[in-house]
Amino acid sequence: MNFTPGPSRSALQRVVYLCLGLVMVGLGIIGAILPLMPTTIFLILAAWFFSRSSPRLEAHLMNSRFGGPLRDWRENGAISRKSKMLALIGMSVGYAVFLIASKPSIFLAIVVGASILACAAYVVSRPGSAELNQPEESDG
């Protein structure tokens, strides 16, 4: 009996990460076109997946026009003021559309609202890109 082993787990993982990275880039492109869908979070995820599957695609993404925000996030967990405002507006509009379109029960509206508030608090708590470039104040 002749046994041919399948691809190693690490090779399979790289393929899965590569496919997920490509899906995230696709969602990011859609987000760049549609006003209520985010872009940067999908590209952050794509960069993470590419860092585990394709250094060439990761470098391409990090050197693209979205590279600045991706580097800010990767190096400092920072989100620009403009991106924070867009995220908060998107969350607010998305929640309003959810309330109007689905007419949820009070319980579901509170659960979804609390989840969105938690996400908004996280976004607001991140340092801004401009804050990272400020010189440190001295005590003397």
* Per-residue H/E/C for 39-81: CHHHHHHHHHHHHCCCHHHHHHHHCCCCHHHHHHHHHHCCCCH
Enumerate the domain spans of the chain.
Answer: 6-76, 78-135
Q: What is the pLDDT of residue 131?
A: 61
Q: What is the pLDDT of residue 138?
A: 47
User: Can you say how many angstroms the Cα of residue 50 is from the centroid of all Cα atoms in its chain?
Assistant: 14
Is the pLDDT confidence value at 1 over 60? no
Out of 31-40, 73-82, 112-121, least confident range: 31-40
Distance (Å, whole) CA 34 – CA 25: 14
- The position carrying tokens 């959810």 is 98
Average pLDDT in the 93-109 region?
95
Could you give the C-alpha distances from 70 to 37, 41, 56, 112, 139, in angstroms and in order? 17, 9, 16, 28, 33
pLDDT band at residue 120, thresholds of 50, 70 and 90? very high
pLDDT band at residue 139, thresholds of 50, 70 and 90? very low
Encode burial over 37-69: b for 16+ CB neighbours within 10 A, e otherwise.
ebbbbbbbbbbbbbbbbbeebbeebbeeebbeb
Q: What is the pLDDT of residue 132?
A: 58
Q: What is the pLDDT of residue 7?
A: 55
The model's pTM: 0.72
Q: What is the pLDDT of residue 9?
A: 61
Give the percent of the chain with pLDDT over 70: 86
- The position carrying tokens 């585990």 is 52
Contact 17, 52 (CB under 8 A): yes
